[in-house]
């Protein structure tokens, strides 16, 4: 059984994951309109992933005797200026999500809720991967600079990351 404090904290994270999904969906739409097909597919997939993270939390809260709340969401921005700025925002957003997960882990420890602590370890590991991926992409973007040919190749590379990730998901 979840404590009220733990339930409230988990419901807060449900909202964070839902809003993350919306942020990446907005990024996907922006990239698609700009003709950045690979980046767009990457962002659509990222949006789906965040939604799955949210659903996993909802199921957990409800299965532990709590009540997962579905709330209104803050609308994400629609324009990102450049693909470089967009990926910088993605990286900063992943850092924000990591902090949120870490705070949730602390609540689980404060509440001596070791089942939730154990459950959250998947999210901790996932955020390490998400931050590393975003950092790696930013490194590639910095190498490209303003080279249009480099942008074309980067767009293809990001599409391949999405394809590779989908293939590994299907293999599991």
Q: What is the pLDDT tens value at each position of the chain, 172 positions in all?
A: 999 999 999 999 999 999 999 999 999 999 999 999 999 999 999 999 999 999 999 999 999 999 999 999 999 999 999 999 999 999 999 999 999 999 999 999 999 999 999 999 999 999 999 999 999 999 888 888 777 777 778 888 887 775 555 445 445 4
Provide the domain limits for residue 132: 4-171
Report the pLDDT value the prediction gives residue 167, as an integer from 0 to 100. 45
- Asked if residue 77 lies in contact with residue 92, where contact means CB atoms within 8 angstroms, the answer is no
Model pTM?
0.89
Round to whole Å and give the CA distance between 120 and 3: 16
Q: What is the DSSP code string of 115-132?
A: HHHHHHHHHHHHHHHHHH
Say what the pLDDT of residue 159 is. 77
- Residue 131: CATH number of its domain: 1.20.1260.10
Residues 6+ apart with CB under 8 A from 8: none
Distance (Å, whole) CA 128 – CA 110 = 23
**Distance separating alpha carbons of residues 149 and 147, to the nearest angstrom:** 6
Domain count, the chain: 1
């Amino acid at each position: 059984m979840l404590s009220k404090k733990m339930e409230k904290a988990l419901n807060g994270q449900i909202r964070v994951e839902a809003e993350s999904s919306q942020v990446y969906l907005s990024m996907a739409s922006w990239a698609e309109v700009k003709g950045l097909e690979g980046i767009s597919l990457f962002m659509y997939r990222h949006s789906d992933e965040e939604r799955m993270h949210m659903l996993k939390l909802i199921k957990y809260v409800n299965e532990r005797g709590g009540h997962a709340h579905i709330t209104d969401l803050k609308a994400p921005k629609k324009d990102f200026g450049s693909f470089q700025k967009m990926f910088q925002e993605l990286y900063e957003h992943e850092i924000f999500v990591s902090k949120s997960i870490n705070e949730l882990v602390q609540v689980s420890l404060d509440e001596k809720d070791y089942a939730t602590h154990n459950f959250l370890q998947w999210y901790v590991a996932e955020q390490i991967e998400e931050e590393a991926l975003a950092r790696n992409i930013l490194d590639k973007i910095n190498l490209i600079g303003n080279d249009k040919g480099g942008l074309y190749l980067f767009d293809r590379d990001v599409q391949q990351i999405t394809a590779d990730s989908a293939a590994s998901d299907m293999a599991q």
